Amino acid sequence: MAPSGSRSIKRGCQRVLYWIPVLFIALIVAWSYYAYVLQLCIESIEDTGEKVVYLLVYHVVFIMFVWAYWQTIFTKPMNPLKEFHLSHSDKELLEREDRGESQQEILRRIAKDLPIYTRTNSGAIRFCDRCQLLKPDRCHHCSVCDKCILKMDHHCPWVNNCVGFANYKFFMLFLLYSLLYCLFITATDLQYFIKFWTAGGRAHFRLKEYLNGLPDTQAKFHILFLFFSASMFSVSLASLFIYHCWLVCKNRSTLEAVRSPVFRHGTDKNGFSLGFSKNFRQVFGDEVKYWPIPVFSSLGDGCSFPTCLVNLDPEQPSSPTGSNPANKSAAEGRQFPSKPLRESQSRLLTSTPSWSENETATDKDRKGASNPGMTIENEA
């Protein structure tokens, strides 16, 4: 009983510690609201029109920022569906087998009816011992959450949550609105920061002569520190946001950028890339009106993804399949069989007519020419 009790206490302490970064961000945001709204806008800015405009724009950005941050924190990561979990009989059968090859045969038999196309580096079926399930494509086990997370990007301590299929759009909007929040504060606070900084260096400290809009020392401190903190956060947020925009354009997660996914034909860092438009819509959805709003609109079910097998990324050399028979044979060897997941079909192609119309025509041409150089897995 004692070891079990100590483990419970340890887990409870860890849960509390994991919330410290979130609490830190919440305190910074609360202080910035006080410093900007009360100390800068209400106490320091004398022009009524300027004050109203600043407060109006600030609160719009602030609400969107807090909304996206809340959604990123409290949206539970999605876990693999029941089709990927081993049945009781399969678990017993797997436990009875001691040899790795025999276990792989069992896993291959189970995976035969599932839309699983990625493998381990050794070519084995991706299986999670802790969760007792076959990992869907782009799914990884998070050691902090102790769960398998669909399309896991990373575990972020600043939101105390895994960033994956369920909340990646929210995370992107959180980065966007937090960056806009910091840039807006930096831009509007700049003129008052300059007044304070210039007047502060005067030998006689004739502050009132230079600081018409800064009535007291407390406001001056808040305005000075607000500018420094907002500008520093802007730099770090801009770099992180640009990096994740690049990942969205390439249809990669942070884990896939570090280690490329392995398919049956080998490693392919662009295996899930379908072009900029489709990559973007996989995260943000088809309806433009939902793009800037922190509501879930991503396409698919998180368990299966359309796959582009020919690398069209300019970073890698092109390999047209129609140029010679050797390339054609290689492309045919790469083509994945279509294995739909009946109970949870992906909407990535079926719900987007703008995507499928062009590709239907192209598919017909491919069938007629017997040249499967570029294949998008049909999840319907």
pLDDT over threshold 60, residue 164: yes
Amino acid at 234: S
pLDDT over threshold 80, residue 268: yes
Task: Report pLDDT for 3.
Answer: 57
pLDDT averaged over every residue in the chain: 80
Q: What does pTM read for this prediction?
A: 0.78
Residues 6+ apart with CB under 8 A from 71: 167, 170, 173, 174, 294
85 φ, ψ (degrees, to nearest 5): -85, 145
Residue among 273, 375, 302 nearest 115 (CA): 302
d(Cα 11, Cα 326) in Å, to the nearest integer?
Answer: 57
Rounded to the nearest 5 percent, the helix, strand and coil shares of the chain are: 55, 5, 40
Residue among 188, 272, 282, 281 nearest 230 (CA): 188
Percent of the chain with pLDDT over 90: 59
pLDDT over threshold 50, residue 52: yes
Neighbour-count burial of 132, counting CB atoms closer than 10 A to its CB (0-12 exposed, 13-18 middle, 19+ buried) = middle
pLDDT over threshold 50, residue 270: yes
d(Cα 43, Cα 79) in Å, to the nearest integer?
Answer: 50
Task: Report pLDDT for 227.
Answer: 94
Maximum Cα–Cα distance for the chain, whole Å? Answer: 86
Q: Where are the domains of the chain?
A: 12-76+158-197+215-309, 80-157
How big is the chain by its Cα radius of gyration, in Å? 27
d(Cα 67, Cα 293) in Å, to the nearest integer?
Answer: 9
Residues 6+ apart with CB under 8 A from 98: none
pLDDT digits (tens, 9 = 90+) for 304-342: 999 876 444 444 444 333 333 333 333 333 333 334 433
Residue among 265, 255, 274 nearest 346 (CA): 274
Task: Report pLDDT for 199.
Answer: 57
Residue 60 CB coordination number (10 Å) = 13
Residues annotated as part of the active site:
156
Task: Report pLDDT for 196.
Answer: 73
